[in-house]
């Protein structure tokens, strides 16, 4: 089949999936107004990859069928492959202003990164590595959209999951000849309603004991699997908006998060990649190098997002000549610094790739770790800068529908600015509100905070993996020179 079109993607969502929101089951995510805007935005991405003018930039030849397949599935073997993948991902991220963080390329790259080390999964009494490799090839050739879940429900965070006296967290119940039964829940399955499949993967550290084994697994299932249902948070798409221009981001890019519930679901063995293997689960993404590939993807997303927020701030400041003030120029310069640091980190990561024993190329990790650690705070500051520059204008901007309402003359006169017509200024400030101050923006800020893990643990991980020895030795050598020179 190869790379899909937008219509093919939308057609694939018409199955028996069990999606719940606002106390009711969703009949069709492609027509329900809470989900339709995001579905259409994802369809646009699929159409974009088949655009005749850029198809060679968005796809590559399948190594098994020769069909064009999405470039986010490529197994990079060189710096050039990493650069090609970056250009493809950047196209998609620019199209969504970096606000659709879990678009299909994210999980494509994650599964590809794991499958590149499929031999590591060949443990136990079944060929789990073979299963993983076949699954990667299946989603590549069918061009599927995946969601994933890593986290157990927040029941009692003071105790590890294996010591909790309930069956809330997803766990192994029993084995069958054709597979095994999973019961319980996982969170947070972002984009679940708009996906074709879900990958249930390990995240939190598990102790090496028999009690933890029933929580140690990795598997994938179709979203419409019997016995599996998703309870979603309320949509951020305003249902009573007078104009789509009033909420230009939240109306199109709300990748609704959900909790997946497994009601004694059968997981076929051929869809199982880790089973009751604590050692394999712990540190999986870093050990296989999949995390370096994923960090590359979300650093590209972060660059697109930073460029969008920077351009938006430029326009908001320009509309009222606020950019003539030095303190405003100072804030805008912060955005320039954030953006160019991201761009430099990506260049550095691609310029010095690591070739592992499997023959594949991995972007240098430390530049991407700096992006991973700094972007959550940087994005919050981006929102704050737009709030400061837009000030009361963000709160006072009326609906875009007022431009054609009974008070259109008032709108034309009183909502213009020195550099913008009322129409352009309202459209700009509604966009700025949605990006920096709306419920959609609040979710984006929370999302970025925990996008790639607990920031406290990530900071500790970076400290422990960083090679501190040469810098400590430099201090020791300086002190020795000073002491030998008679400095007291």
Task: Give the chain's end-to-end CA distance (angstroms, integer).
Answer: 76
State the pLDDT at residue 167.
Answer: 86
State the pLDDT at residue 158.
Answer: 84
- Numbered ranges of CATH 2.40.110.10 in the chain: 6-284
Q: 406 CB contacts (<8 Å, ≥6 apart)?
A: none
State the pLDDT at residue 488.
Answer: 52
- The pTM assigned to this predicted structure is 0.95
- Numbered ranges of CATH 1.20.140.10 in the chain: 289-453
State the pLDDT at residue 156.
Answer: 86
State the pLDDT at residue 343.
Answer: 98
Tokens of 161: 């999951």
Q: Which CATH class is domain 6-284?
A: mainly beta
Q: Name the CATH topology of 289-453.
A: Butyryl-CoA Dehydrogenase, subunit A; domain 3 (1.20.140)
Give yes or no for a contact between 293 and 233, defined as CB atoms under 8 angstroms apart: no
Secondary structure, 3-state, the chain: CCCCCHHHHHHHCCCCCCEEECCEECCCCCCCCCCHHHHHHHHHHHHHHCCCCCHHHHEEECCCCCCEEEHHHCCCCCHHHHHHHHHHHHHHHHHCCCCCCCCHHHHHHHHHHHHCCHHHHCCCCCCHHHHHHHHHHHHHHHCCCEEEECECCCCCCCCCHHHCCCCCECEEEEEECCEEEEEEEEEEEECHHHCCEEEECCCCCCCCCHHHHHHCEEEEEECCCCCEEEEECCCCCCCCCCCHHHCCCCCCCCCCEEEEEEEEEEEEHHHEEEECCHHHHCCHHHHHCHHHHHHHHHHHHHHHHHHHHHHHHHHHHHHCCHHHCHHHHHHHHHHHHHHHHHHHHHHHHHHCCEECCCCCEECCHHHHHHHHHHHHHHHHHHHHHHHHHHCHHHHHCCCHHHHHCCCHHHHHHHCCECCECHHHHHHHHHHHHHHHCCHHHHHHHHHHHHCCCCHHHHHHHHHHHCCCHHHHHHHHHHHHHHHHCCCC
CA quadruple 43, 49, 198, 161: dihedral positive or negative?
Answer: negative
Q: Identify the segments of the chain with pLDDT beneath 70.
A: 485-488
State the pLDDT at residue 375.
Answer: 96
């Amino acid at each position: 089949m190869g790379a899909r079109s937008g219509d093919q993607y939308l057609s694939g969502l018409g199955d028996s999936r069990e999606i719940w929101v606002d106390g009711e089951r969703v009949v069709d995510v492609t027509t329900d107004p809470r989900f339709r805007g995001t579905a259409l935005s994802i369809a646009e991405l699929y159409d974009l990859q088949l655009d005749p003018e850029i198809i060679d930039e968005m796809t590559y030849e399948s190594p098994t069928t020769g069909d064009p397949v999405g470039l986010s599935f490529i197994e990079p073997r060189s710096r050039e492959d990493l650069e090609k993948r970056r250009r493809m991902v950047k196209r998609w991220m620019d199209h969504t202003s970096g606000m659709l963080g879990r678009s299909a390329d994210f999980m494509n790259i994650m599964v590809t990164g794991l499958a590149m080390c499929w031999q590591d999964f060949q443990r136990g009494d079944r060929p789990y590595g073979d299963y993983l490799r076949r699954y990667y090839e299946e989603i590549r050739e069918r061009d599927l959209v995946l969601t994933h879940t890593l986290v157990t429900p927040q029941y009692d965070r003071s105790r590890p999951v294996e010591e909790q006296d309930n069956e809330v967290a997803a766990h192994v119940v029993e084995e069958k000849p054709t597979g095994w039964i999973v019961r319980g829940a996982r969170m947070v399955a972002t984009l679940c309603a708009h996906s074709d499949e879900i990958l249930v993967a390990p995240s939190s550290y598990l102790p090496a004991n028999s009690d933890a084994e029933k929580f140690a697994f990795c598997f994938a299932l179709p979203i419409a699997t019997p016995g599996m249902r998703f309870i979603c948070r309320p949509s951020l798409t305003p249902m009573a908006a007078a104009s789509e221009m009033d909420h230009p981001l939240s109306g199109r890019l709300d990748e609704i998060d959900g909790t997946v519930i497994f009601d004694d679901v059968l997981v076929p063995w051929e869809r199982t990649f880790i089973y009751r293997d604590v050692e394999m689960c712990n540190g999986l993404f870093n050990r296989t190098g999949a995390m370096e590939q994923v960090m590359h993807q979300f650093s590209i997303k972060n660059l697109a997002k930073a460029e969008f927020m920077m351009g938006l701030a430029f326009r908001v400041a320009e509309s009222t000549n606020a950019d003539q003030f030095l303190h405003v120029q100072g804030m805008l310069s912060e955005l320039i610094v954030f953006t160019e640091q991201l761009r430099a980190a990506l260049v550095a990561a691609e310029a010095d790739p690591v070739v592992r024993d499997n023959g594949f190329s991995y972007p240098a990790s430390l530049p991407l770790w700096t992006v991973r650690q700094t972007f959550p705070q940087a994005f919050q500051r981006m929102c704050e800068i737009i709030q400061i520059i837009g000030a009361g204008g963000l709160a006072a901007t009326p609906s875009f529908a007022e431009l054609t309402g009974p008070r259109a003359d008032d709108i034309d006169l009183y909502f213009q600015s020195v550099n913008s017509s009322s129409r352009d200024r309202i459209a700009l400030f509604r966009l700025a509100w949605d990006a920096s101050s709306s419920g959609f923006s609040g979710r984006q800020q929370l999302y970025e905070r925990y996008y790639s893990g607990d920031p406290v643990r990530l900071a500790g991980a970076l400290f422990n993996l960083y090679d501190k020895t040469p810098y400590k030795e430099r201090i020791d050598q300086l002190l020795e020179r000073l002491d030998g020179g008679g400095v007291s």
